Structure 1
């Protein structure tokens, strides 16, 4: 990841939103009727990356401001993707997979992040696509969309493990934690709070899974005990720790959604347009590679057959199927309200890829000869027909790098002269010049 994001695919901020949001200090408390009250985590990430770039990276490396931010972006993306891969790998092992199978499926997730979409659209692990819609503000994209999506997917892996543990489907622990329980509990609540107050499109990933899981568990609960179906306390007591986690997550998301609905941004978006949302979702799904869609559908059919034969898997698989369907429906509503943006629904595609990896480990964990078949089928499905990524040449990066440096020099000179370093006219000019690769 460091070699890729630091050298092969370096990231440079060059649009007005990157500079403007970098100086916006966030708060841990949402404020009603503000512009984006539910987005507490992204401004902290973006400002924190800028502060570390200036006060740590620049003195230690001797790089200038732009190059230090480029290096900080590479470090940040490498760390978050590595942590997500580790959690996914540990989840694979908990289902009884061998180390080689766990590594193979984790690699499939990484390969899919690069290759599951066609080259002319926004690749999931390639944020600095100058041709994709809205990809000008790269630094903002990392903090507002990539990290919140990755954080919620990482927490989803832990919640999915707790559910599988409750259903006696896993064999090995996902983590080994010698720390006191109160430290883990406090840290988990803080991380969960930041995940649900990151951005609505990303927090949907975890919150919708928790909501669907509670619904499925409640259906099974009343099916076993029809006389006490109205006893919510008995239901939560039967769920134990898992029920508390899901309920807390769902309540946090409801609070964040309430604040988001009563925000200036929601009022700015306008009314819902369901026909547009459905059409945009359909066109977005067509951007996925045919090989990935084929593999996803075949894996889904295979896991349904396995769940039909194994009754212990049915609640687990039913929850996942209802989750991905409900997630798609909610994303349609989100796009209908907020407009058509590829990065807005990128979390849905990552969730589909993540879910397929979970299905694959359940299907292949007992087969000794499945490694070769799994590798050949997955690689063929992802990479055929292979399309080289042509939308981000080195010349483009170097051009925008020099342009950003000259812009920073002009802003610093204006600041020394007592002028506004970020005048509105400059921001408007920046947007016109850099919109959709238009330099």
Structure 2
């Protein structure tokens, strides 16, 4: 491969990273705001399942979020002098990195099905667009599949899902490759461990692939299936630990009917133009002049992929029925739900468009139409088009100002040598004052502990939380 090609690919990858970074740092910044965000910014746990813990196997997010937060505090904050802003920059970089890796893996997978780089590139861009447009319902307050409801939830739901999707794309592409290096296998073992021990919702992405591989034979022979058995074993361990975990003990009912109703309502609320764009893509296989036997042979991979959607859907319904039917309506849960159906469509389309078919004007006309249908909902874009990534949907800049005010009050108190501080925070119309809850204070306050771990204060400081309506006026919180 020439240096020119390598350079072009590097520029494309870097451009994708920068676009994602700009979105998550400027357009819709991920700002730590609520008590859970503060708690997990400084959280510490061992990277093994913990029997009886609140979430015994939620390892990946509970290691990733605090460590990238600490990295931001020790590397970016000394440069910028902006503590919350440093977190925003770091979180945007992490999201951009994971999404860029996903795009690269999808592109490489599509290339493996069809050697035409133009079609693979267009379909990769279309894949990303669909994730930003499928849930659009109006000209404001929209959510998107690569989004979440809080900074912590990005690490607990969205990022693990993106990582597991990238792993599956790699596995499908390399499933018959017997020359995989030892290093690659070790990396896969590690990624599989953290992918399953992340969160039950995104973990099913990996396990569904493994189940289909074992039952229907993506790969051949037990040796090739060893990794799939490994993933299934990890998942069974995870289920056992979670059943006896602290959080599961709080769920005593199962709302199966309500969950199915909620799921149906949400699926039927998908943007019709975007659904149409997927149907438009299915026109492409009809343009192929291959005989029926060849077409049926090429359909096999798409069918295997679609089969994986069955355990994913069933599992999500069961988990949400136990934890709360409302979960099934979350964008970061639908990210998991749509992965295999969407991938099946893209696989079917791509595999039919071999290189000798790629120059057809009809093919690019259909691709252009699918792209146009995804761009139409974005024509009404404005500053309120997407919902802010916090549970009360207030302006991210306000969230940032509240966070900086909390930091300044605590740091100033410690500089004065105080062992206790009255921390004034906005008052919210909830029983526990969520998103900044009353129990966040005390000698072991989540705020002071995180700031201590991040090196902003030297000693712990007890916090007396004061719900102050003057802070609401100061920050313009109604």
Short-chain TM bin: 0.7 to 0.9
Closer/same/farther in 2, CA of residues 298 and 8 from structure 1, 3 Å limit? closer
Contact 1:289 1:382 (8 Å CA) reproduced: no
Paired with 2:240 and 2:229, the residues of 1 have a C-alpha distance of 16
Deviation at 1:412, TM superposition (A): 3.3
1:118-197 paired onto structure 2 within 5 Å: 118-119=136-137, 120-127=141-148, 135=149, 138-163=150-175, 165=176, 181-197=181-197
Closer/same/farther in 2, CA of residues 104 and 287 from structure 1, 3 Å limit? same
Paired with 2:282 and 2:57, the residues of 1 have a C-alpha distance of 34
Partner of 1:419: 420
- Normalising by structure 1, we get a TM-score of 0.80
Paired with 2:90 and 2:271, the residues of 1 have a C-alpha distance of 31
Paired with 1:40 and 1:438, the residues of 2 have a C-alpha distance of 35
Partner of 2:443: none
Partner of 1:58: 77
In the alignment, which of 345, 355, 363 is matched to residue 352 of structure 2? 363
Partner of 1:117: 135
1:207 aligns with 2:200: no
User: RMSD of aligned C-alpha atoms?
Assistant: 3.3
1:83-122 paired onto structure 2 within 5 Å: 83-119=101-137, 120-122=141-143
Closer/same/farther in 2, CA of residues 188 and 101 from structure 1, 3 Å limit? same
What is the DSSP-based 3-state SS (H/G/I as helix, E as strand, rest coil) of the residue aligned with 1:37? coil
Deviation at 1:65, TM superposition (A): 0.6
| Rg (Cα) greater in structure | 2
Contact 1:13 1:139 (8 Å CA) reproduced: yes
Closer/same/farther in 2, CA of residues 158 and 272 from structure 1, 3 Å limit? same
Q: Going by fraction, where is helix more abundant, 1 or 2? A: 1
Paired with 1:72 and 1:214, the residues of 2 have a C-alpha distance of 39
Paired with 1:55 and 1:303, the residues of 2 have a C-alpha distance of 53
Deviation at 1:211, TM superposition (A): 0.4
- Comparing 357-366 with 308-317, which one deviates more in the overlay? 308-317
Partner of 1:223: none
- Comparing 20-29 with 200-209, which one deviates more in the overlay? 20-29
Deviation at 1:374, TM superposition (A): 3.7
Paired with 1:336 and 1:396, the residues of 2 have a C-alpha distance of 32
Paired with 2:233 and 2:282, the residues of 1 have a C-alpha distance of 30
1:382 aligns with 2:382: no
1:244-283 paired onto structure 2 within 5 Å: 244-283=226-265
Deviation at 1:143, TM superposition (A): 1.0
Closer/same/farther in 2, CA of residues 262 and 328 from structure 1, 3 Å limit? same
Contact 2:52 2:244 (8 Å CA) reproduced: yes
Closer/same/farther in 2, CA of residues 438 and 345 from structure 1, 3 Å limit? farther
Paired with 1:205 and 1:75, the residues of 2 have a C-alpha distance of 24
What is the DSSP-based 3-state SS (H/G/I as helix, E as strand, rest coil) of the residue aligned with 1:124? coil
Partner of 1:242: 224
Paired with 1:425 and 1:21, the residues of 2 have a C-alpha distance of 21
Q: Compare relative contact order (CA 8 Å, sep 6+) and give the higher one, 1 or 2.
A: 1
Contact 2:114 2:353 (8 Å CA) reproduced: no
- Normalising by structure 2, we get a TM-score of 0.74
Deviation at 1:193, TM superposition (A): 0.5
Paired with 2:422 and 2:238, the residues of 1 have a C-alpha distance of 33
Deviation at 1:274, TM superposition (A): 0.9
Paired with 1:420 and 1:355, the residues of 2 have a C-alpha distance of 56
- Stretches of structure 1 that go unaligned for 5 or more consecutive residues are 128-134, 167-172, 219-235
Contact 1:26 1:43 (8 Å CA) reproduced: yes
In the alignment, which of 38, 54, 60 is matched to residue 41 of structure 1? 60
Paired with 2:201 and 2:45, the residues of 1 have a C-alpha distance of 19
Paired with 2:275 and 2:50, the residues of 1 have a C-alpha distance of 41
Paired with 1:403 and 1:160, the residues of 2 have a C-alpha distance of 46
Partner of 1:6: 25
Deviation at 1:262, TM superposition (A): 1.7
What is the DSSP-based 3-state SS (H/G/I as helix, E as strand, rest coil) of the residue aligned with 1:429? coil
The Cα offsets for residues 206-244 of structure 1, whole Å up to 9 and x where unpaired, read as: 1012102321239xxxxxxxxxxxxxxxxx9x5254311
In the alignment, which of 340, 343, 353 is matched to residue 342 of structure 2? 353
1:405 aligns with 2:426: no
- Comparing 38-47 with 353-362, which one deviates more in the overlay? 353-362
Closer/same/farther in 2, CA of residues 125 and 217 from structure 1, 3 Å limit? closer
